[in-house]
Amino acid sequence: MSTSEPTLYLQRDQPDGVPPLALTGERTLPDVPAENYWYQRHLVVYEWIAQRVRGQRVIDMASGEGYGSDVLARSAASVIGVEANPDAFEHARLRYPAVRFERGLVEEFTAPADAVVFLQTIEHLQQPGATLEHFASMLDGDGTVFLSTPNVLTLAPKGAARSDNPWHVHEYLPEEFAELCRAHFGRVEIYGLFHAGKLRAHELALRAGWDRVHAALGLTRRFYDWFTPAIGTGDFALRRAAEADIGRALDLLAVCRQ
């Protein structure tokens, strides 16, 4: 549901004066219809977190295009989006002027916070443990770190050790991810992200042979040109690890406290 030639895709319909970003595979983007599955998959987690940081001071580390920081700012007392990439930083600063963005490395930026959000990025790091220690040091009182990563069991081809994403340094098994988080935080809750709604129906259709049907009828492009942009956050569901088969999760979300 994403493109195999991401550099050909630019964001559409940006406000005047805001340079569109190109889809490179390093980060997901809104306003790219072919990327909508991945964007909504990230957005639903930001919206879930936003409900839990109401009135808090939040740092959104590796904030990318800025859409997640903007979602968090709708409920948080304050949000700082931290992004090292100069193009993404400049885009976010112009696209979301109500949010404060800082250009910097997540390993070095520091500010007191009630919550640190770090989504779909720990798999890019050479030294994840040191980064988690840094985040923990920023928290005031009973603060929270929200951390997510793709599940290698569902991201990589069956039987493969990892996916072919060139931006990823290490992709995590569920138990490995939980162990990393528990090495640096005293209380850790693990959630899994799963398909729901249209995407769950699509999964069942694939099991019933939908791939053969749309190909035989010549409907493939027409169907997915409609289906992918129609996906919304309601087509995903977050469930506690204790209530779900975490090995089947698309992404893993850890809620970490001291």
Q: What total of structural domains would you count in the chain?
A: 1
Q: What is the mean pLDDT of the chain?
A: 94
pTM of the model: 0.94
One-letter amino acid at 134 equals H
The answer to whether residue 75 sits within a structural domain is yes
Question: Which residues form the domain of 161?
Answer: 6-194+241-257
Residue 117 predicted with pLDDT over 80: yes
Place of tokens 């997915």: 224
List 240's β-bridge partners, or say none.
Answer: 191
The answer to whether residue 81 sits within a structural domain is yes
Under a CB-based contact definition with an 8 Å cutoff, are residues 132 and 118 in contact? no
pLDDT band at 159 (very low <50, low <70, confident <90, very high): confident
pLDDT tens-digit series, residues 69-93: 999 999 999 999 999 999 999 999 9
- Give the whole-angstrom CA distance, residue 189 versus residue 166: 29
The answer to whether residue 210 sits within a structural domain is no
Which candidate, 135, 72, 141, 90, places its Cα nearest to that of 108?
135
Show the DSSP H helices in 74-169 as ranges: 86-95, 128-138, 152-155
Q: How many CA atoms lie within 13 A of 174 on its CB side?
A: 20
Secondary structure letter of residue 82 according to DSSP: E
Residue 7 predicted with pLDDT over 50: no
The answer to whether residue 31 sits within a structural domain is yes
SS3 89: helix
The answer to whether residue 203 sits within a structural domain is no
The answer to whether residue 71 sits within a structural domain is yes
What pLDDT, on the 0 to 100 scale, is given for residue 226? 95
The answer to whether residue 234 sits within a structural domain is no
What pLDDT, on the 0 to 100 scale, is given for residue 141? 87
The answer to whether residue 72 sits within a structural domain is yes
- Give the whole-angstrom CA distance, residue 241 versus residue 252: 9
- Give the whole-angstrom CA distance, residue 132 versus residue 186: 12
Question: Residue 26 sits in a domain of what CATH number?
Answer: 3.40.50.150
- Give the whole-angstrom CA distance, residue 67 versus residue 38: 13
